[in-house]
Amino acid sequence: MTSLTAIQAYHRILEQPDMAQESWAVLSSRLRERHLVFGERPLCVVLRPLFYSPQEWEYLRGRTRLILRLFHKLAHAMRLDPALRRQIRLTPEEEAMIQVDPGYRTPIPTARLDSFFARQEDGSWTLHYVEFNGESPAGMAYTEELGELFLQIPAMQRLAQRYRLRLLRAKRPALDTILAIYHEWLGHRHKLPEVAIVDWRGVPTTSEFELFVEHFAAHGIRAVICDPEELEFRQGRLLAAGTPVDFVYKRVLVTELLQRYGLDHPLIHALRARAVCVMNPFACKLLHKKASLAVASDERNAHLLTPAEQQAVREHIPWTRLVEERTTQDPEGRRVDLLPWASQHREHLVLKPNDEYGGKGVVIGWEVDQTTWDAALQEALEHPAVIQQRATIAYEEFPALDEQGSLSFSPRLVDCDPFLFLGEKVEGCLTRLSSTTLLNVTAGGGSIVPVFLVEGR
C-alpha cells in the first residue's frame, strides 16, 4: 500500500454528502478554541493532513540523519577553523558569542531541516534540503496539536476504520531534549528546570509558546513567557518578569537580540556566568546561516567530507554558493566566474539573505526580470546572501471548502521539515502548504498540516 492509496480513499470519504462541511465545522471550531492561529490567521485552512507510508518516512528519516551527521561534523570543523568560519559571515558579536561555553556538548539541541520530498510519477522519490533552521525552530507544538484536532473530525474517524494512523509527534522529544541538556549543564543532578520562553512581545507564534507552557506543566515544570526586556540578572540569578529561572528556551533570534543590545544584555551576562542554561546555544549560528549549505556543497570544502558524504550532498543539497567575487565550480563541475554565471542562470536560481526568516528578501530568479535579479546580486555583495539551485518541488492536491462552502481540490506546494534533536535524532515533522513558490507561514501565504503515517489494516 502507498500513501497515495490512502489519499484517494480519504478524498472519496470527503466527497460523501455533508462529510466535508461537517468535518470543517469540527476542525475550524477546535482551531479557534485552542488559539491555533498565526497572528490572526488560522494555522490550517485545508481538510487533509499530509500522509506518508512507513517506508516513505523511514527513507526520509534515514537520509535526514545522514545529512544531520554531516552538518554536525561541519559545525565542529567551523568551531576549530576561523578561515572556514569566515565562509558563513558571522558578525563580530556572533563570533564572540560562539566562544561562550553553554555547558553542554551539542551545538544544535533542536533544529529543523527544511526540505522538499517529492514522489515522482515512476515511483521514485527526490529529497532536497534547502535550509537548516538551527536557531529555535517553530512548529513542534503546533503540528502535534493540529494532529490531535484532525483525529476528532468525522472524515479522519471514518478513514481510521480502514487504515492505521500514527501522528508524528515532537513535543515529547523537545521536552526530553530540554531535560537532557539541562541535566548535563547541572552536572547530571536530577532537578526540574525553571523555564522562561523568551521572545518579543506580540510575535505571532505566542500561541505555540502557550502550548508548551501547558505541556511543561503537565510534567511538573513551571514556565513563564517573557520579552527580552523583562529579563534581569541580579545577584547571580536570572529573573524573567520577576521570576527566578535557570533555563531559557530562547525563541528570540540571536541576530535580533545582538542587533538591539549588542553583548550587553542580562541573558548574555547570565550565560557567561553559567547561571542559566540556554537552548539553543549561540553556536547554533554556525549552521543556521544560509551559507552553511554553501559550506557543505562548495568544492573547496570537499576534503572535510567522506566520499559517501560528498555523494549525499550531491543527491540532497542543491548547489549553493555565497554571493561574492570568485571562481567556483558550477552545478555541472565547470569552472566559472560566479557573478556573471549567476546573472546568466537566474531562471534556475534562488537568492536568499544569509540570515533572515519568514521569506524576507528572498528573490526567486524565474519569477523576476533580469534587471531585478542583477540588482539583487549586486546588493548581496554588500549584505551577505546565497544563491541556490532550484530544487525539485513537491505538489499535492489538497481539499478545502470554497467561498460557497463546497468541497474543492487544488494543487498546493508542499514542504517537509523534519525536526532534529540533540544533533542526532529525527522526530516529528513540520509541513507547510502554499499556492505560491515562496512557502512560508510568516510571509502570510501558507498553511500548516500535521503528518500521519498510514498503513492498511
Alpha-carbon distance values, 156 to 107, 145, 318 (Å): 39, 15, 36
DSSP category for residue 200: -
Q: What is the pTM of this model?
A: 0.94
Question: Count H helices, E strands: the chain?
Answer: 16, 25
The amino acid that residue 384 corresponds to is P
CA dist., res. 218 & res. 414, Å (int): 33
Model confidence pLDDT, tens digit, residues 56-115 = 999 999 999 999 999 999 999 999 999 999 999 999 999 999 999 999 999 999 999 999
Which residues partner with 413 through β-bridges? 395, 434
Q: Return the half-sphere exposure (C-beta side, CA atoms, 13 A cut-off) of residue 179.
A: 13
How many other CB atoms are there within 10 angstroms of residue 190's CB atom? 7
Sheet holding 163-167, edge to edge: 50-52, 451-456, 163-167
Angle at 139 between CA 136 and CA 141, to 5 degrees: 105
DSSP category for residue 53: -
pLDDT for res 442: 46
Helix axes 19-33, 3-14, angle to 10 degrees: 100
pLDDT for residue 39 is more than 70? no
The amino acid that residue 446 corresponds to is G
pLDDT for res 264: 97
Model confidence pLDDT, tens digit, residues 394-448 = 999 999 999 899 999 999 999 999 999 999 999 999 999 988 765 554 444 578 9
Residue 44 near residue 162 (C-beta atoms within 8 A)? no
CA dist., res. 88 & res. 384, Å (int): 9
Of 246, 21, 300, the C-alpha closest to 154 is: 21
How many other CB atoms are there within 10 angstroms of residue 191's CB atom? 10
Model confidence pLDDT, tens digit, residues 157-210 = 999 999 999 999 999 999 999 999 999 999 977 899 999 999 999 998 899 999
How many other CB atoms are there within 10 angstroms of residue 234's CB atom? 10
CA dist., res. 310 & res. 330, Å (int): 16
All three cell numbers of 219? 510534567
pLDDT for res 42: 87
Cβ-count burial of 235 within 10 angstroms (0-12 exposed, 13-18 middle, 19+ buried)? exposed
Model confidence pLDDT, tens digit, residues 239-275 = 999 999 999 999 999 999 999 999 999 999 999 999 9
pLDDT for residue 1 is more than 70? no
Q: What is the DSSP string of 250-285?
A: E-S-HHHHHHHHTT-SHHHHHHHTT--EEES-GGGH
- Confidence label for 455 from pLDDT (cuts 50, 70 and 90): very high
Q: What is the DSSP string of 64-89?
A: HHHHHHHHHHHHHHHHH-HHHHGGG-
Residue 450 near residue 430 (C-beta atoms within 8 A)? no
pLDDT for residue 375 is more than 70? yes
| The residue to which cell 554531516 is assigned | 70
pLDDT for residue 155 is more than 80? yes
Q: Where are the domains of the chain?
A: 3-287+394-456, 288-389
- The pair phi, psi for residue 77, each rounded to 5°, is -65, -40
pLDDT for residue 18 is more than 80? yes
The residues near 108 (Cβ < 8 Å, ≥ 6 apart) are: 71, 72, 75, 134, 280, 284, 287, 420, 423
Q: Strand 335-337 vs strand 327-329: parallel, antiparallel, or unpaired?
A: antiparallel
pLDDT for res 443: 44
Q: If you average pLDDT over residues 327-337, what whole number do you get?
A: 97
